[in-house]
Structure 1
Amino acid sequence: MDIEFLANLLLVVDSGSMAEAARRVGVTAAAVAQQVQALERELGVPLLVRAGRTVIPTEAGHRVIERARGLVREFSDLKAFALKGEAAGELRIGTITTALLSLMPDVLARFAAVFSQVKVLIRAGTSMELYETLLRGELDVAVCLHPAFTLPKAYDWHLLREEPLVVLAPARFAADDPHELLRREPFIRYDRSLGGGKQADAYLRAARIAPRELFELNSLMAIAMMVDRGLGVSLVPDIVSPLTAGLEVAKLTLPVKTEPRRFGVVWHRGSPRAHLIRGLLQCADEALVQSDR
């Protein structure tokens, strides 16, 4: 039985789609389907059935998947233990999208230069999705917002960046009062289901500001571009990204101090990939120093 086939079966189940699983591993959907069929022939039971546009496990599939998660994780850890102390192996990184589009490219460039033999697998998601995936052992590190709860003692946290809330406005409004802009101009809201969006919503409520809301979306990069195009103003975490560096936007400091959005790295202290994680953290700190110059 091929462990890669089992890993791809788990991807199909987690994504609900053979096409999405295939996209993540860089093969065709037909190839993934053939791998699943090979597993079904070897085990003698159907593992997946179609439900509309998605696929779901059969009863037998659920039993297989429960064991497969442990097998895939243990095999991955076995490789890591075999390569312990060597600058090789595999590192599975989960990251929030804003980190992936801002700090992480510089971090990964440094990491790849030092650990050229390491295969890096990257998965994007929300902070809670990444944290839960980390707990299941399917990630080695999660680059995410600081959890709103106490981390289990087996896990550690390394702060990367603090991002205070700012009013993002077209450059021509750079000298205007930020609260007045929020009341007067069309408002582009950062998704309230996300950490930074919740912070922005809480600030508006505390300041008794009812903005003229026209848009709500979950991409900080898209929000910055929309502000650059004159579609309105926004209240967002102060991200630093090369993708927004050329935009004609102003960042206005709020008159009332707020808690910043904090994002960093979470990992299991006992990870067999500890030497790679330490290398990643060092690369992150070096990239931050370089970006602040």
Structure 2
Amino acid sequence: METQYLHSFLLVVETGSLAEAARRLHLTSAAVAQQMRTLEREFGTDLLARAGRTVAPTPAGHRLAAAAPQLLRDLAHARTHVNQEAEVGELTIGTINTALHSLLPDILARFVAELPGVTVFLQSGTTQQVYHAVQQGALDAAVCLYPSFALSKAFDWSLLREESLILLAPRHLAALAPLELLRTQPLIRYDRSLGGGQMVERYLRAARITPRERFELSSLVAISMMVDRGLGVAVVPDTALDWHDGQNVVRLALPAQGGAPAAESRRFGMLWLRSSPRLARIRRLVDCAQQVVGERGYAAPRPGASAGYAE
């Protein structure tokens, strides 16, 4: 059986749509539909039923969806048992775009230098998407934000950075107070469907600021470029991105005054399943990540914060 078909099946069940599953997998709807037909032939029963424009699992499909994550983990364990060397094999990593555009290339450069025999596959998505993929066994690990809920004991977590909110502003406005800039300048808003965008919204509400919104988008790189072009100011997490510092953009701390609390921070790191059959490779990747963070001079985690391998 092609295990990728099981991953596709779980995604179809999760989204309720062949088209949406195909979009996330970067395949055509016809290709995903063919995978589902192949699975149905192998299991000898219907697994999905159409309901208008959506699809839903049949009773047999529900049973397969419940059993598939463990089946995928068992198959991964079997592969590792056949080839137990951590230095050879595969690693599938989920990542949010912020990591993909900042720390992850340096982390991967170190990792492949240490383990050249490991083939790495990357899948991008939101923190919620990569978390569920790790939970289902579709990903070995994820570079993402700490979820908005407590992780179960099935997971391990390594904190890499804590990222507070900052204000990006055109250099010629740097002498003005950050809250005054937020009250008077157009706002380039970080997407409110994302955790960082929700942090921004909470800060603005606590500061009792109703901004003049000009744009809303999810790319921090694009937001920085738009501030650089003089299109407005932006409140964003202070990520490891190479901001346009030294050009037309300055980074300003957000004050705990004027009715606003100190800006909250978001936790950025790596998560994986404790029972992963690729645990040795994952830990080598975490070690590489910690080394890169240290070498680039980022602040160490706060006392009491989770770091290294969770207990």
Q: Give the structure-2-normalised TM-score.
A: 0.80
Structure 1 counterpart of 2:280: 275
2:267 equivalent among 259, 262, 268: 262
**One-letter identity of the residue aligned with 1:221:** V
Cα separation, 2, equivalents of 1:17 and 1:247: 45
2:81 equivalent to 1:97? no
Which amino acid in 1 is paired with 2:125? G
Cα deviation for residue 32 of structure 1 reads: 4.2
Match of 1:151 in 2: 151
- CA distance in 2 between counterparts of 1:5 and 1:108 reads 27
Question: SS at 1:164's partner residue?
Answer: strand
C-alpha separation in 1, matches of 2:27 and 2:208: 52
Number of equivalences: 293
Find the aligned partners of 1:76 and 1:170 in 2 and give their Cα distance. Answer: 50
How far apart, in 1, do the equivalents of 2:14 and 2:246 lie? Answer: 38
Matches within 5 A, 1:165-204: 165-204=165-204
Residue 137 of structure 2 corresponds to residue 137 of structure 1? yes
Q: Distance in 2 between matches of 1:25 and 1:191?
A: 23
The percentage of aligned residue pairs carrying the same residue is 54
Query: Which stretch of structure 1 is more off in the superposition, 160-169 or 206-215?
Result: 206-215
Structure 1 residues without counterparts, runs of 5 or longer: none
CA distance in 1, matches of 2:60, 2:283: 40
Distance across 2 between alignment mates of 1:122 and 1:259: 29
Cα distance in 2 for partners of 1:61, 1:269 equals: 28
Q: How do residues 25-36 of structure 1 correspond to structure 2 at under 5 angstroms?
A: 30-36=30-36
Amino acid at match of 1:133: A
1:208 is paired with a residue whose SS is coil
How many Å apart are 1:160 and its aligned residue? 1.0
| RMSD of equivalent CA atoms | 2.9
The aligned amino acid for 1:183 is R
Amino acid of the residue matched to residue 265 of structure 1?
A: M
On the 8 A contact 1:161/1:262 being kept in 2, the answer is yes
- Say if 1:170 and 1:249, in contact at 8 Å, map to a contact too: yes
Indicate if the aligned counterparts of 1:84 and 1:272 stay in contact, CA closer than 8 A: no
Classify 1:64/1:255 alpha carbon distance in 2 versus 1 (closer, same or farther; 3 Å): closer
Matches within 5 A, 1:211-290: 211-242=211-242, 248-256=248-256, 257-290=262-295
